[in-house]
């Protein structure tokens, strides 16, 4: 008796599934860098804000 499609690794059902996984991984890969790139300005702005606050306190202390 011929093997079932589910048991045959060369069956279209099994062949179609592996390509779908890489495509999902490829589509998911750009999302991580995009979120990282979007977070970088926020981190830089927050860090810059903290830096300006520290510089402001130092200037106020040095002036007073």
pLDDT digits (tens, 9 = 90+) for 21-47: 555 555 555 555 556 567 777 888 888
Q: What is the pLDDT of residue 10?
A: 61
Residues shown for the chain: 64
Cβ distance 17 to 23 under 8 Å? no
Q: What is the pLDDT of residue 46?
A: 86
Q: How far is CA 63 from CA 39, 49, 52, in A?
A: 35, 21, 16
Q: What is the pLDDT of residue 23?
A: 54
d(CA 54, CA 27): 41
In eight-state DSSP terms, residue 9 is T
**3 state DSSP class of 4:** coil
d(CA 19, CA 7): 18
């Amino acid at each position: 008796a011929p093997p079932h499609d589910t048991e045959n690794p060369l069956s279209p059902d099994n062949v179609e599934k592996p390509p779908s996984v890489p495509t999902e991984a490829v589509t998911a890969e750009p999302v991580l860098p995009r979120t990282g790139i979007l977070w970088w300005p926020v981190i830089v702005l927050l860090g810059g804000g903290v830096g300006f606050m520290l510089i402001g306190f130092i200037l106020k202390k040095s002036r007073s």
